Amino acid sequence: MSGFVSLVGAGPGNPELLTVLAKRRLAEADVVVYDRLINSALLMPLTAELINVGKQPEHHRVSQYQINQLLVKLARQGKRVIRLKSGDPDVFGRGGEESQFLHAAGVDFEVVPGITSAIAGLAAAGIPITHREFASSFHVITGHHKAGGHQLNWENIAHQEGTLVFLMGMKELGEITHQLINHGRPKTTPVAVIQWATHWKQRAVRADLDTIETVVNQHGLGAPALIVVGKVVSLMPELALTKPLAGRHLLMPFKESSKLFANLQDQGAAVAFFKRRQNLALDFDWPQIQPGTLIVTSPTAFTFFERRLLAAGYDHRWLSDWRLLAANQLTVKALKARGISADGLYEPNQLARSVASSVMIGEAADLKRTTDFKGQKIATYRAVAVPQPIELSQFHGVIFPSSPAVDDLLNGCQPEQITQLADLPCFVMGRRIFEKCLTAGLQRVILVPSQIDKVPAAIEAYFKANAGSVRVSCEEINRERSISN
């Protein structure tokens, strides 16, 4: 049985710069073999097996030959394999080499192009790679060469008209500028270096061929970065746009097709996800009472209740004689989406006379902690914490749209992560979530509107008002995001 390999370009870094076909291939995959610079937000929704074969400068986790062999092995197991690469697979990504190896091994494959950073990275810093008045052509050159391999023809490169873009060349920046000047490029030629293009920690500096290395060293830029040489660089001050949340790295719970994610990204934030709990269905007996009051604590609780209802041969008509109360507005909306109108919100003091005929459904551990309800409790599911492999020091803030989301993150964190989280601004979309965070020991809890479209502005206002109190590490990363000399 033969599988299929897709060599997929993930784009320059921003998870929304993924092609439609690439997104579909990832959703269909059995296994994803991915590189070091892949944005974790691309991997979060996947159900496929994930294999990290990322290479770092001077250190290869897995050799290229081993990667080639792995792709063939997985394909011959009948799997749909994704080889996920930064940018475009065939732009200095060894996609051509891997294609040759797969062809020679008789493995079916395809190449799914991606947006290369050689173009998108420049645009992100306000540099059009071509312009009628400045550059009618461009040339993309690798600054990294195979040991003992062919060296660059500097005489030819230096006299090319148009824009020169060097990828993987930061280690050779001094040599690149030296060779261009020695072979005839004017010392005053505009040059830009863009680090982490389209990522939250993007930074850019601008100088000329004679001084760019000094400027880069002054500002501490390093790999991964693009080196851009040409007149188009002069447009950078004019065209580099800054959105309100540019340079802010925010964490939120994963949700497929999240409107909040889209709104934050549109305002310039880079958004990553933490994993939600794993919910396991529980067997439970039907309420041992006549129709009374059913209290639904969450949409998830009702989902598992509904599944059991349908499996037993009943439908929503079984609830027609019950009074239905929701624990919060989120649950009200979820019920309405199912065609069910809640009779109101659950208020403990209103059930004093009818508690004997009241049933509360929810998560097992949450129901045990609910001491203000004396009626019948039915656990429809059990939540299992999922480990959170997140470096929280790399974030400016975390967003909690619900109380369960707080538990999901806290329960999956190690003690050192909890310590980091305690000092991180936590933006909460409701009073109950606010109180839960304080009870959990989080120290910087900020109440923001529950309306999704108002959250970005509230977060922006917080950072403006507290510019001096943001963690130093984040300040240093963002202070020089767009530097122009």
Tell me if residue 55 is catalytic.
yes
Domain final position from 57, 88, 114: 114
pLDDT at 474: 36
**pLDDT bucket at 441, cuts 50 / 70 / 90:** very high
| Lowest pLDDT segment from 52-56, 61-65, 307-311 | 52-56
Residue 127 confidence (pLDDT) above 70: yes
448 and 306, same structural domain?
Answer: no
Residue 1 confidence (pLDDT) above 80: no
Mean pLDDT of 4-17: 96
pLDDT at 286: 83
372 and 321, same structural domain?
Answer: yes
203 and 296, same structural domain?
Answer: no
Instruction: Tell me how far CA of residue 333 lies from CA of 61, 194, 298, 341, 381, in angstroms.
Output: 47, 45, 10, 9, 20
Residue 13 confidence (pLDDT) above 90: yes
Domain final position from 72, 90, 114: 114
422 and 403, same structural domain?
Answer: yes
Residue 59 confidence (pLDDT) above 90: no
State pLDDT tens for residues 404-413: 899 999 999 9
Find out whether 267 and 290 touch, Cβ atoms under 8 Å. no
pLDDT at 453: 94
Query: How far is 373 from 13, CA to CA, in rounded Å?
Result: 49
Mean pLDDT of 369-389: 90
Domain count, the chain: 4
Mean pLDDT of 175-183: 96
Residue 381 confidence (pLDDT) above 80: yes
Find out whether 193 and 216 touch, Cβ atoms under 8 Å. yes
Mean pLDDT of 449-465: 95
pLDDT at 478: 37
273 and 283, same structural domain?
Answer: no
CATH of the domain at 231: 3.30.950.10
Whole-number percent of the chain with pLDDT over 90: 76
Residue 44 confidence (pLDDT) above 90: no
**Identified catalytic residue from 35, 88, 366, 408:** 35
Burial of residue 132 (number of CB atoms within 10 Å: 0-12, 13-18, 19+): exposed
pLDDT at 260: 95
| Lowest pLDDT segment from 10-19, 50-59, 134-143, 257-266 | 50-59
- 244 lies in some domain: no
Mean pLDDT of 81-104: 95
Query: How far is 252 from 269, CA to CA, in rounded Å?
Result: 12
How big is the chain, counted in residues? 485
130 and 230, same structural domain?
Answer: yes
CATH of the domain at 400: 3.40.50.10090
Amino acid found at 357: S
**pLDDT bucket at 56, cuts 50 / 70 / 90:** low
Domain extent, residue 11, equals: 4-114
**pLDDT bucket at 270, cuts 50 / 70 / 90:** very high
Report the range out of 123-132, 137-146, 363-372 with the highest average pLDDT.
123-132
- 484 lies in some domain: no
- 428 lies in some domain: yes
Residue 396 confidence (pLDDT) above 60: yes
Domain final position from 114, 139, 169: 114
- 358 lies in some domain: yes
Query: How far is 205 from 213, CA to CA, in rounded Å?
Result: 10
**pLDDT bucket at 480, cuts 50 / 70 / 90:** very low
Mean pLDDT of 248-261: 92
468 and 332, same structural domain?
Answer: no
- 485 lies in some domain: no
Mean pLDDT of 299-322: 92
Q: Specify the 3-state DSSP secondary structure of 252.
A: strand
pTM of the model: 0.81
**Identified catalytic residue from 23, 55, 73, 171:** 55
Strands (E), 10-146: 31-34, 49-52, 55-56, 59-60, 80-85, 109-112, 138-142
State pLDDT tens for residues 340-356: 999 999 887 766 556 67
Between helix 259-266 and helix 455-465 the angle, nearest 10°, is: 50
| Lowest pLDDT segment from 7-16, 285-294, 329-338 | 285-294
pLDDT at 482: 39
Whole-number percent of the chain with pLDDT over 70: 92
pLDDT at 314: 87
CATH of the domain at 35: 3.40.1010.10
**pLDDT bucket at 435, cuts 50 / 70 / 90:** very high
308 and 286, same structural domain?
Answer: yes
**pLDDT bucket at 483, cuts 50 / 70 / 90:** very low
Residue 58 confidence (pLDDT) above 70: no
Please list, in sequence order, all residues whose beta carbon lies within 8 angstroms of the beta carbon of residue 124, skipping any fewer than 6 positions away: 12, 194, 197, 198, 202
pLDDT at 54: 81
Residue 485 confidence (pLDDT) above 70: no
409 and 273, same structural domain?
Answer: yes
Please give the mean pLDDT across all residues of the chain: 90
pLDDT at 466: 87
Residue 150 confidence (pLDDT) above 70: no
Residue 256 confidence (pLDDT) above 90: no
Q: Specify the 3-state DSSP secondary structure of 213.
A: helix
Query: How far is 34 from 26, CA to CA, in rounded Å?
Result: 11
Q: Kindly write down the DSSP assignment for every residue of 334-382, as one continuous string.
A: HHHHTT----EE--GGGGTTTGGGEEEEEEHHHHHH--S--SEEEEEEE
pLDDT at 354: 62
Residue 224 confidence (pLDDT) above 70: yes
67: tokens are 């990667």
308 and 337, same structural domain?
Answer: yes
235 and 124, same structural domain?
Answer: yes
13: tokens are 């870094």
272 and 399, same structural domain?
Answer: yes
Between helix 299-311 and helix 329-337 the angle, nearest 10°, is: 40
Q: Specify the 3-state DSSP secondary structure of 462.
A: helix
More confident residue, 482 or 225: 225
Report the range out of 146-150, 457-461, 473-477 with the highest average pLDDT.
457-461
